Structure 1
């Protein structure tokens, strides 16, 4: 009985606050690019002007930026409008996620949110806008891989005017952040006593064939996201590799690992859901990578509606820090390094299907309306306790153009540990845009050839 009450109370608080969904959910395909942005967000600002009108996003490239190098903070001169602390949290409770509220309760003396002017910087190339408009008319959900998958979508947001939670989550999985990417990043586990443990020093190549400009829905083979990660450290893991190929049909998705000690490439039999992901040294579950990644099959997804929430946004300041110590605190990320803004988000809830198994039986996701990227999420375990809160840090990349969530992580309320995936601080580059890779670059054969300690 307690289990059900906790979830019902949580859902009631969200539903009571969602008053913005009507205008978006009543919109039609012809509103794209007019009252809606080309990707389906509300173009207008909000009633009290804390959210401005979308005017095309931010596409001004810094003249000092060199391709493949480090991007700066275009809003470095901005000052916080105010700060939310444990002392005034109640005043802003309606615009805070449950995970954020829990952080204030657990770390009242150190956790803080500096709120900045809202800047709607999301942008994409025109051809992605054009494809999104086509998708709005042709895309549909069909059965595949034990769940629902998009059909008739390509090269843009598949469902810019979503009708249900599955469509909204596919918008997140197929959101725009560039096509072919290289990145050098480190992963950190911070223990319950505040010790920083680097679990991965990795060099990765990443590609989204779904966004090949010369492709089409008719020629697309379904592999929408591919990554190959080589560990150069720490020494005990040097030479290890992990490779993921995510397919629209989950049954066709593949994950391989290379263990330097064995000198063998192995296919991971269950690269799904709450199985620990090798690319995170087993610290993060597969479906927690980048807030949510992979199969939608184990949950029932409900599109609750839209809400105004304070979320991390335009966090370029975080990436301009000189060293990890500047951004990693003892219990959480350094508040001085973060930027929070008021934005409208789509709220999507996931409930474990009858007969399925998962450590987290309920989750709530907050998808930025301008990009469809999940920026915050909360997860409850089988006892009804809030067990984890997940986050991502969207950064402005006008050279692409995109607003890309690159660094992500979670706070574990059960163990007191927390984890940071893809920390670029101190690295020479953050999110390097490169020419298209060869298809063989994402093959087990290449892993075997490069996996030398």
Structure 2
């Protein structure tokens, strides 16, 4: 792997411990000059294959229907080239270990279609303003963020932990709904429906009328309630989660129809299987990474140009799940990959902690801070899982939230595809703010199927 640069500040943080403070006003001023408002390099790369950022994509997309299905702003574009097992070596320095392993494991069906790169990342002005304020007020106290609110917490990130917090506190809206299907991919090529559900989600961290002081009273940054309509064996099941800046205070409850009661989950964290995916995926594998930083030591490896899933409105266009699900992985006909700069972060199991994956590596887009690819190694040092997530263009947000995500188990041949909107009438509709009571165990009990 060729890393373009390793910031001196990152090396110093590793050498001298986690004295992680906000940047100076002079350094923050770069967010209004050579850096984008979120902290990416505004300029393109030398050969122009990565363009300059010019404000992101805010133009309404033809085919977008309010609270309905979404169009594709780049529907007329064709792939520039395709990467397969036959020519993978030619592009090896721009591929993750997991993608190289997928090309090798499935040489006859897996490929990466590379399209023209578009830097579409954007956000409302109030999120931009808060991000600028966070640069000089946010800091890490151990593994916990302090002083951040309403924007990217560390737009000028110095450490791997700061990059991962940027991913977790990324802009994805204030309140929204999704209707989804999720599937387990078996080793023999079958797609088994695990979830047909509707979810309400909310980010109190992004309430426009909030403040760091108000938010710090509870520190719950993400809330979700998922109710299953299917498959039949899971119809009526539900889960509520309240995710806290301090991961030790995360809370989740499930309603199980067989027991007819709400139960609090004892450990909604880390490598514990999540009920939202029928136990197929771990909590901290949701959307590539949704976990607790205190389980690992985080090392910022630097920045690299890589082919990553991006601007994936193309994936939203088919109207059946079968069209986007391949035999052992997603159907590459509907995937869009682009060349972008990513921050590379390695996670190594911290002394005294336990986890099924003692080593991981994440690739986080510089424009959105979303970790779109991840690889995990098992206790024997074998490359075990490769994780992926797609962003799509949502001018009504405006922004680039994660759509579908999943993983492939490179050892067992199994996999998972989550958050498929293809068979649904709506794709990530924005909603007015939900009452806090929506995300409580009492709400689950009141809605429970008896």
SS of the residue aligned with 1:192? coil
C-alpha spacing 1:149/1:219, structure 2 compared with 1 (3 Å): same
Q: Conserved in 1, the CA contact under 8 Å of 2:349 and 2:355?
A: yes
Structure 1, unmatched stretches of 5+, are 1-12
Q: Conserved in 2, the CA contact under 8 Å of 1:73 and 1:316?
A: yes
Q: Conserved in 2, the CA contact under 8 Å of 1:376 and 1:391?
A: yes
TM-score by length of 2: 0.94
For residues 84-140 of structure 1, give each alpha carbon's deviation from its aligned partner in whole angstroms, at most 9, with x where no partner exists.
111111010000000000011111111111110000001100111100000000001
Q: Conserved in 1, the CA contact under 8 Å of 2:44 and 2:53?
A: yes
For residues 216-271 of structure 1, give each alpha carbon's deviation from its aligned partner in whole angstroms, at most 9, with x where no partner exists.
00000210000000000011111100111000011221011000111111110111
Written as runs of structure 1 = structure 2, the 5 A alignment for 1:398-413 is 398-413=395-410
Q: 1:288 is matched with which residue: 263, 285, 288?
A: 285
Q: How far apart, CA to CA, are the structure 2 residues paired with 1:205 and 1:106?
A: 37
Written as runs of structure 1 = structure 2, the 5 A alignment for 1:119-138 is 119-138=118-137
Q: Conserved in 2, the CA contact under 8 Å of 1:125 and 1:401?
A: yes
Counterpart position of 1:207:
202
Q: How far apart, CA to CA, are the structure 1 residues paired with 2:387 and 2:62?
A: 34
- Are 2:171 and 1:186 equivalent residues in the alignment? no
Counterpart position of 2:344:
347
Counterpart position of 1:3:
none
Counterpart position of 2:144:
149
Structure 2, unmatched stretches of 5+, are 11-22
Q: How far apart, CA to CA, are the structure 1 residues paired with 2:63 and 2:407?
A: 34
SS of the residue aligned with 1:345? strand
SS of the residue aligned with 1:325? helix
Q: Conserved in 2, the CA contact under 8 Å of 1:24 and 1:41?
A: no
Q: 2:165 is matched with which residue: 159, 163, 170?
A: 170
What value does the CA root-mean-square deviation take over the aligned residues? 1.4
- Are 2:94 and 1:95 equivalent residues in the alignment? yes
Counterpart position of 1:71:
70
Q: How far apart, CA to CA, are the structure 1 residues paired with 2:108 and 2:5?
A: 34
SS of the residue aligned with 1:406? strand
Counterpart position of 2:302:
305
TM-score by length of 1: 0.94
Q: Conserved in 2, the CA contact under 8 Å of 1:135 and 1:157?
A: yes
Q: How far apart, CA to CA, are the structure 1 residues paired with 2:199 and 2:314?
A: 23
Counterpart position of 1:10:
none
- Are 2:252 and 1:255 equivalent residues in the alignment? yes
Counterpart position of 2:3:
18
SS of the residue aligned with 1:202? strand
Q: Residue 312 of structure 1: CA displacement?
A: 0.4
Q: 1:368 is matched with which residue: 365, 369, 374?
A: 365
Q: Residue 64 of structure 1: CA displacement?
A: 5.0
Equivalent pairs, count: 434
Q: Residue 66 of structure 1: CA displacement?
A: 3.0
Q: How far apart, CA to CA, are the structure 2 residues paired with 1:340 and 1:102?
A: 17
Counterpart position of 2:330:
333
